């Protein structure tokens, strides 16, 4: 499966409609982006159950700004609409494979419980700080 281009209009739909989505934020003028592109494409062939999406930061500046993209390439990985990974820099093939293996092995119910617990702790900490 080859990577698909996503835009600000299709991004949410792609993430919502698929279990695992890897998003490569890139630009044509970016040397590391061009070097990472074949690694990303090859991984898409080995993982047909995941969606590999590309966001051209030049054409989709609003989407790049929404995610605070400051450096490219930036790779984001979503599973069940939860952002699990976001990091700038081109990954070597072995590291991308390892990342995908880890994402596929996650217990998403446990991940959601951990997120919920963190969200409950943050308002309590903020509330305590304002009382001081």
- Residues forming the active site: 30, 33
Kindly write down the DSSP assignment for every residue of 46-102, as one continuous string: H-TTSEEEEEETTT-HHHHHHTT--SSSEEEEEETTEEEEEEESPPPHHHHHHHHHH
55 bridge partner residues? 25
In sign, the C-alpha dihedral spanning 109, 51, 71, 66 is: negative
């Amino acid at each position: 499966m080859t990577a698909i281009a996503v835009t600000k209009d299709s991004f949410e739909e792609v993430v919502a409609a698929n279990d695992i989505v890897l998003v490569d934020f890139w630009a044509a003028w970016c040397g590391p982006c061009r070097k990472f592109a074949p690694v990303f494409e090859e991984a898409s062939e080995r993982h047909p159950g995941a969606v590999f999406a590309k966001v051209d930061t030049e054409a989709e500046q609003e989407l790049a700004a929404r995610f605070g993209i400051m450096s490219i390439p930036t790779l984001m990985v979503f599973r069940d609409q939860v952002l699990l990974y976001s990091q700038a820099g081109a990954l070597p093939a072995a590291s991308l494979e390892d990342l995908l293996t880890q994402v596929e092995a996650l217990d998403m119910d446990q991940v959601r419980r951990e997120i919920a617990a963190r969200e409950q702790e943050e308002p309590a900490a903020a509330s305590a700080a304002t009382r001081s």
